Structure 1
Amino acid sequence: MAKSIDGAQLALLATAVLTAFVTPRPRQALQLDGEVGVLSVKEKASPEETCSWFSYYCSYGWTTYMIIRGCRRDLRMEDLPRIPSYDAPVKWLYGITAARLKGGKTFLTLCRLLKKDIKVLIFWSASTAVTEYVAPSAMLRLLSYLEKPQEAVIHPALWISLLFIGPMCRSVCYQQYIFNATRVLVRLNISLVQEIYQTALRSHLYDTSVDSGADERQIMQGKPSSKKTPKSGQSNITSLMSYDVDAIYNSRDIFYVATAGTISVTIAMSLLYRMLGWPSLIGVFTLFLLTPLPAVLSNRVSRIQREVMRATDARLSKISEYLGSIRTLKYFGWEPAMAEKINELRSVEQRRLWKRNILVAVIAVSGDFLPMISLLAMFSTVVLFTDTPLRAPVAFTSLSIMETLRLQFVWLSNIIRNASQGLESLRRLDHFFESAVPIKHHPAGPPEFKNATFRRTPVATFKLQDLSVRFLEGRLNVITGPTGCGKTSLLLSLLGETILESGEATCPRDVAYVPQAAWLQNDTIRNNILFFGPYDEERYTSVIQACGLMPDIEQLPDGDKTMVGEKGQSLSGGQKQRVSLARAVYSRARTLVLDDVFSALDTHTTSAVYEGCFRSDMLQGRTIILVTHLPSALQDARLIVNLDRGVISSIQTAEEGDLILESSQCSADTAVEDDSGSPPLLESAEPVTIQSNSEMPQIEDPNDASGRLVEETSAKGRIPRTLGEYNMLFWNPGI
């Protein structure tokens, strides 16, 4: 009776364990640091998070539905499973940032970040190495039984079952290693790409382009660089986020080789020594002597990989340069010349890739032949120098063990190849992060400089020196001066985009910045103006009217829902500038920093936009810091800062009822800053006081009855076909 009760309890316990093993798991909330908070778990859970332990470790059943759906039709984005909460990008961005703050190179940072995952990889690698020799050991016992069945102590059914159980356990362990290694691949990719992107956004980058000048000519000639650059070379952000990150996570199996390889060689040496005695040491010693060969070749691969990445950087940089000026190239018909230059750079890259791949093939072949050479040396020693007979159990088991070692050396040769490339990529990443200087934002406060000196880069010769000015809040502040005097640098210095060498600076937190070269997203006109803000129809309509965009929008087929294209390529220069201005005006920022927003507008449009924005209630009570030479702005300004060669030459202020203008140096048609340079508008002459209610004369359009000009002037009409024929006759040399 007692035995029946014990058996029933054991059966119930086994049933409970089996039920827990196949029952779906509850979803766990992901806890992060207090600044990041807890990730939301309101969304639908990923199948990977709630699958059973059996599905997670053995069958991977949570992927079955996607496999079946992929067999029936092509997979779409909505068919893919959700990302598990523990693989959320924000978690890994925070993790690698915290690991980077502890110091050390990129490799040490990644080891800190992926410490738990590396431990899991080491565990499954060790399990794979141990279970790999279960089948050879069982085969040795089974062959010994077949040779001398009368001496058997254990039934051969055990060894036959181990011939199945050993490879099955090895397969489960190895597949778990592959699964976790792939997860490490994804996490490493997420972390590094986000860190590179965040660093590029939040830092000053001074060394992220390929070598130029004579060094570029050396690249095109296929010669190594003569410059003494850092070991990692100069890097390109595009190649860092693609080629280098790929090379790093392709070398993730270094932990498998370090763990499984060491354990596997130790077990193999022990088994061979027990079977063959001292001749096994000859084979192992031969293997040991030939092992440095792949390592020596890998150093050569690393050097060639460095030259390959330099050639890749040169090609990508040149392609980016040409794509940025594609319109000019097509206008002048320079496509063949540019294509030839890119092909030259590509041919250099291909030649270096060929050399690298040849060495890689040599390493792979050496990995296959080294165990065979050691096996030949070991068996030759047994036959020639010992009297020990080479029995079938020993011979076949030795072959099985050496085959296992051969596979380990194949792994070793592949990993050495990938590790050499990953090491070079780690050096390049280290150089990138070391050369990036974080942008330090100024303390919150009114826009002000106190004896401040700025440089655009640490090695720049030009600098803004001893700036001391406090911009008037809630008023129009104008910055003027000749071309190249540092007006744009002053605005960027206020925003914290340059290096503060000395002095103090403060800047408000809510600032809307409009650069001289308009920045637009590949989105609709409306979304570029709203810029993820709430839509207020009345405010939106007032803004586009004030910025002179209403006639342009009415002419477009989709109105303000028209896509502007990449960098606003479907709009004219003036339209892009006005959309960029409208975004700043529509925003709720209390401070507007505007860099010559009238530079791309003609005189009539400039007058209309200025009247609509700056002489209306649209910007009432907001602090405006404007770089311009526009006479109307100089009349209305309450503070005028005149720059000359990076130094403030004069500061002029006006009371509420007074306006300041140097009429002797400002002409009515001066609307933009010309490239040839112009003298400072405000010199030592005495200011002329003008009443605040004075208005600029309106320039009327004879075709516009209202007298308001909002759209840019442009030529219209067609060219007659006969004009082309006439030109051909006119330029005929025979006439």
Structure 2
Amino acid sequence: MHHCRRAAMLRDASLTWRPEDPDLTFWFQRIILQWVPCFLLFLFTFYEVYGIVTSRYRDIPWNWLNISKIVITFMLMTLRGLTMIVNYHNQQDVFDVQILVAVFNALAYITTIALYYFFRKYGIRSAGTIFIFWFLKAFLDIIQMRTEAMKHAKRENPIGSGKTVIFDEYQFVSYTLQYSLICLITLFFIKLLYLYFDRFTWTGFRKPLTDDDMYDLNPQDMSRELVPPFDKYWYESVESGRRKQMATDKKAGKVNPVYKPNAASNRSILPAMVKAYGGPFWFAGLLQIGISGLPYLMQELMGNIAMNGPFWIGMTITFALFLNSLLIALFNGQYFRKTFLVGFRIRTGLISAIYRKALRISSFAKKDTTVGEIVNLMAVDAQRFFELTSYLYVLWSAPIIIGVCIFFLYEILGPAVFAGLGVMVFMIPITGVIATRLRDLQVKQINIKDERVKKMNEILSGMKVLKLYAWGPSFQDDIVGVRHGEIDILRTMAYYGAATFLVWSMAPFLVTLALFAVYVMIDENNVLDPQTAFVSLALFNILRFPLAMFPMMITFAMQAWVSVQRINKFMNSEELDPTNVTHNRSEDALSIKDGTFSWGDETPILKNINLAVKKGKLSAVVGSVGTGKSSLISALLGEMEKIKGTVNTDGSIAFVPQQAWIQNATLRENILFGKAYNAQKYDRVLECCALKPDLEMLPGRDKTEIGEKGINLSGGQKQRVALAQAVYADAEIYLFDDPLSAVDAHVGKHIFEKVIGPEGILVGRSRLLVTHGISFLPSVEEIFVVKDGEISESGSYQQLLDQKGAFAEFLMQHFQELDEEDEEIQIIQEILKDEVSRNIVKRAMSTRSQRSSGSGGSAGSVCRKTMSRQESRNSNKPVEAPAAPAKGTTLIEKEESATGAVS
């Protein structure tokens, strides 16, 4: 009895559904309408707390906006409390449930004030939860205000008591105005409708946009926030596969199994992507789960018109139709924003992972991977996920939407719905065959694109040689042939795509035709009245989108699956072993003990290597071409596969390779390389690296852009920029792989004295120099001589000369390759004062003179650097001088004896 009485107090059909002046019961308004906003606020507060805890923003300073939010909320809480006190003071009935509602409201206000405070502290400028709370509060209070206004209008004495007027009828007016003020000052409404973009659009209309006009990225959309989650989950997946393979190998009886990636241990990037970036995507998917209420509302509206129902019900249904369309538009806008962000984050994470994987793959894995393939993985395959995410929900929502629409159509049209279902089922195998064919073509197209990018990279890298030998037409024909093959595949894919689009574009029309035709034909009583036709057409319009998008999504899904397989193959390729080099504390900055190294599965390149570079000392590595000097540097960097032995480095390392790596940036940015600018240190580095004269020639001095899109520097200039970059890095250990070979002898002497040498800017740092310049060797504290992949001898310059071993042979060979007029040999003669060195020079020059007279020409073999300087000198001679090079300056004796004299 009491239960029925309470239910009647909350709902009264005669009051709510009466033809004129419908209204809600007093208790429904005072309880349910007050509890709904509070309940939603308490429910979503947990989500907001999670956002506060994970926020990466800075705190927001106090201003009139956040202060006014807290003050107005506190005033509302005070007014609510005063209302209860005045009602109790006027001896009005105050029930327990009203007290409970007041407590709920007070808790809601306190929660709102707390959220405002923590949002300011943790840099969150807007929140959907608070916006929804105030919006519902204001909207539902309007219903109560209407009820009170209607009661006041029906009274015989509308003036009444002043207290009654203030605290009963018109209290909701002040509430609503203040709630509306809070709704206006919240930024969530601006974000919901993208109003913040208006200023950006207006700026672009008035003037061309620049980088300064662009918005800064949100912290959670920057690489430093996006990359670590994917790396974490990918590393966990790889470690899981490694442990699984190692356990399998142990069970198979292998002793000390070594991890090598194989098909069983390979991992997919999909689980890592879902874990790292799937949260916002699943939340966005919730916005697309709800089926449009348009058909149901349309049916109710048509029924109300047919039955001549109450006017207010028709207006309510019409408002519901408008609200339904508005919500669909808002949800779709938010859905696409979130899914585009997810696609952007996935692409960023994949590009970063692929790039860093390219730096870690082993030399053996590099044989199966070209530069073109790696570029395509980052530029094409990662982009597939960005294109897929926005419409990925179609793959799982389309069958649900189609099934629900078919169910409603069955309720309206009966068994005729199976005719339309049969048409759709008939189209599925056609689409399946086309999708399979598209997948195969996609694989072929990607492989051809890899080949094209590889060849283009080779052409651009060797453009100078290509132009000198007039090979342009031949290479052009080669590229055009590859491109024609790619275009043929793209044309075939376009035909298949057009066929799929045509089939599924006709689907809504064919399904509608089959449904209505069968519906009318199976029973004479079936008539297409307006209600049946309009509701069915509304359902068909809902079916139109998934049917139109489904074929496109199948194509996107096939392309993305091919990209997943390609990226999986690359990401699971063998990496350099991080344990190849240890970083333990030691007396030596660099040390190798009994080391044997190889490039992949090949024969060992370096054998029985024992090397120790003392801290703060300058050491050098010398040897003939091809003996393994650069490989020794690679072994110290961990880039070679260690077969046995130990390698240890103690300190940070800066490496200067033979071929300088220049970024597409200004000269200053290349030298700083992310370090803070220090004017004094920067100027000293420029002077020591002999770059100041070059700055005078550059149009923008050190602000000049260099690299692919900037000014082209010479080889010597690039090498000096790379050297300056390493010096500015201020590392503890420096590895130089013959950086002075690209500069002139006098410049090399200056750089050695000011940078590398005993009195250079790097004095006190550990330095290992690979060089062919023997003029620097007397200043080196220890020299390692490499011969046939082994360190044959080591010691100081004088010690090695006294031994008359491999080092003396190296000096003899080097002197024989020099010209008497060469600038370097003049510098060497000034430096080498001891008797042993002078004797070696004399014997080498005598041997070279005898060979020259015997062959009737100049020396037969010239090193790379000397050759370039001789060509430079010859270019200044008269035109009749070409006879000199014809005497065979690049032919060795064996070749000359095989070909004979040239008359």
Same fold, TM-score > 0.5, yes or no: yes
2:498 corresponds to which residue? 361
State the shift of 1:514 in Å.
1.4
In 1, the alpha carbon distance for the partners of 2:223 and 2:731 equals 30
The superposition leaves residues 281-320 of structure 1 with CA deviations (integer Å, 9 ceiling, x where unpaired) of 3332442342232232112111111111112212222111
In 2, the alpha carbon distance for the partners of 1:720 and 1:525 equals 38
> For 2:536, which of 395, 398, 412 is the aligned residue?
398
State the shift of 1:482 in Å.
2.6
In 2, the alpha carbon distance for the partners of 1:100 and 1:460 equals 30
Q: 1:47·1:81 contact (CA, 8 Å) conserved in 2? A: no
1:122 pairs with 2:265: no
* Change beyond 3 A, Cα 1:628–1:69: closer
In 1, the alpha carbon distance for the partners of 2:420 and 2:33 equals 52
* Change beyond 3 A, Cα 1:253–1:293: farther
| 2:567 counterpart letter in structure 1 | L
1:484 corresponds to which residue? 626
Deviating more after overlay: 60-69 vs 384-393: 384-393
In 2, the alpha carbon distance for the partners of 1:166 and 1:540 equals 64
RMSD: 4.6
- Counterpart secondary structure, 2:639: coil
- How many residue pairs get aligned? The number is 657
Deviating more after overlay: 371-380 vs 551-560: 551-560
Equivalent residues in 2 for 1:75-224, closer than 5 Å: 75-103=209-237, 104-127=267-290, 130-131=291-292, 134-146=293-305, 148-149=306-307, 155-204=313-362
Q: 1:315·1:345 contact (CA, 8 Å) conserved in 2? A: yes
Deviating more after overlay: 404-413 vs 281-290: 281-290
> For 1:577, which of 686, 705, 719 is the aligned residue?
719
| 1:175 counterpart letter in structure 2 | G
In 2, the alpha carbon distance for the partners of 1:380 and 1:354 equals 38
The percent of aligned pairs where both chains have the same amino acid is 24
1:275 corresponds to which residue? 412
State the shift of 1:359 in Å.
0.9
In 1, the alpha carbon distance for the partners of 2:191 and 2:728 equals 52
Deviating more after overlay: 248-257 vs 598-607: 598-607
State the shift of 1:412 in Å.
0.9
| 1:265 counterpart letter in structure 2 | I
The superposition leaves residues 53-89 of structure 1 with CA deviations (integer Å, 9 ceiling, x where unpaired) of 22233x2222221122223333222222222222222
In 2, the alpha carbon distance for the partners of 1:672 and 1:553 equals 37
1:503 corresponds to which residue? 645
| 1:149 counterpart letter in structure 2 | M
Q: 1:210·1:317 contact (CA, 8 Å) conserved in 2? A: no
1:316 corresponds to which residue? 453
Return the structure number with greater relative CO, CA threshold 8 A, min gap 6: 1
| 2:398 counterpart letter in structure 1 | G
Deviating more after overlay: 445-454 vs 412-421: 445-454
* Change beyond 3 A, Cα 1:40–1:502: farther
In 2, the alpha carbon distance for the partners of 1:348 and 1:640 equals 55
State the shift of 1:437 in Å.
1.4
In 2, the alpha carbon distance for the partners of 1:42 and 1:660 equals 74
More helix by share: 2
1:307 pairs with 2:444: yes
2:486 corresponds to which residue? 349
1:244 corresponds to which residue? 381
* Change beyond 3 A, Cα 1:39–1:318: farther
Q: 1:298·1:416 contact (CA, 8 Å) conserved in 2? A: yes
State the shift of 1:494 in Å.
0.4
The superposition leaves residues 583-639 of structure 1 with CA deviations (integer Å, 9 ceiling, x where unpaired) of 444553232211122322444544454445555411433322121243344434443
State the shift of 1:495 in Å.
1.4
* Change beyond 3 A, Cα 1:341–1:47: farther
* Change beyond 3 A, Cα 1:403–1:574: closer
| 1:596 counterpart letter in structure 2 | D
TM (norm. structure 2) is: 0.64
* Change beyond 3 A, Cα 1:628–1:405: same
- Counterpart secondary structure, 1:435: coil
Q: 1:637·1:659 contact (CA, 8 Å) conserved in 2? A: no
1:645 pairs with 2:804: no
In 2, the alpha carbon distance for the partners of 1:31 and 1:150 equals 56
* Change beyond 3 A, Cα 1:621–1:68: closer
| 1:431 counterpart letter in structure 2 | K
Q: 1:660·1:690 contact (CA, 8 Å) conserved in 2? A: no
State the shift of 1:490 in Å.
1.0
In 1, the alpha carbon distance for the partners of 2:683 and 2:695 equals 11
1:53 corresponds to which residue? 188
> For 2:428, which of 274, 281, 291 is the aligned residue?
291
2:864 corresponds to which residue? none
Q: 2:758·2:779 contact (CA, 8 Å) conserved in 1? A: no
State the shift of 1:424 in Å.
0.9
1:463 corresponds to which residue? 605
- Counterpart secondary structure, 2:785: strand
Q: 1:514·1:593 contact (CA, 8 Å) conserved in 2? A: yes
In 1, the alpha carbon distance for the partners of 2:515 and 2:809 equals 97
Q: 2:783·2:795 contact (CA, 8 Å) conserved in 1? A: yes
2:250 corresponds to which residue? none
The superposition leaves residues 684-712 of structure 1 with CA deviations (integer Å, 9 ceiling, x where unpaired) of xxxx9979999x99xxxxxxxxxxxxxx8
- Counterpart secondary structure, 1:60: coil
1:450 pairs with 2:593: yes
1:624 corresponds to which residue? 767
| 2:596 counterpart letter in structure 1 | T
For structure 1, the residue ranges without an aligned partner over 5 or more in a row are 20-25, 213-233, 675-687, 698-711, 724-735
In 2, the alpha carbon distance for the partners of 1:175 and 1:352 equals 36
Q: 1:524·1:562 contact (CA, 8 Å) conserved in 2? A: yes
- Counterpart secondary structure, 2:742: coil
In 2, the alpha carbon distance for the partners of 1:341 and 1:522 equals 29
State the shift of 1:579 in Å.
3.8
Equivalent residues in 2 for 1:507-526, closer than 5 Å: 507-523=649-665, 525=667
In 2, the alpha carbon distance for the partners of 1:158 and 1:504 equals 82
1:414 corresponds to which residue? 552
State the shift of 1:154 in Å.
9.6
1:260 pairs with 2:397: yes
State the shift of 1:419 in Å.
0.9
1:665 corresponds to which residue? 809
* Change beyond 3 A, Cα 1:590–1:136: closer
In 2, the alpha carbon distance for the partners of 1:280 and 1:495 equals 70
Q: 2:361·2:575 contact (CA, 8 Å) conserved in 1? A: yes
Q: 1:453·1:500 contact (CA, 8 Å) conserved in 2? A: yes
State the shift of 1:91 in Å.
0.8
State the shift of 1:489 in Å.
1.2
> For 1:434, which of 535, 558, 572 is the aligned residue?
572
Q: 1:208·1:236 contact (CA, 8 Å) conserved in 2? A: no
TM (norm. structure 1) is: 0.77
| 2:527 counterpart letter in structure 1 | L
In 2, the alpha carbon distance for the partners of 1:323 and 1:143 equals 70
The superposition leaves residues 191-225 of structure 1 with CA deviations (integer Å, 9 ceiling, x where unpaired) of 2222222323344476578889xxxxxxxxxxxxx
State the shift of 1:246 in Å.
1.8
State the shift of 1:397 in Å.
2.4
| 2:276 counterpart letter in structure 1 | L
Q: 2:689·2:720 contact (CA, 8 Å) conserved in 1? A: yes
The superposition leaves residues 636-671 of structure 1 with CA deviations (integer Å, 9 ceiling, x where unpaired) of 4443323233333x2322499997674742448938
- Counterpart secondary structure, 1:251: helix
Q: 1:475·1:622 contact (CA, 8 Å) conserved in 2? A: yes
Q: 1:454·1:499 contact (CA, 8 Å) conserved in 2? A: yes
Q: 1:449·1:506 contact (CA, 8 Å) conserved in 2? A: yes
In 2, the alpha carbon distance for the partners of 1:367 and 1:150 equals 41
1:68 pairs with 2:227: no
| 1:627 counterpart letter in structure 2 | V
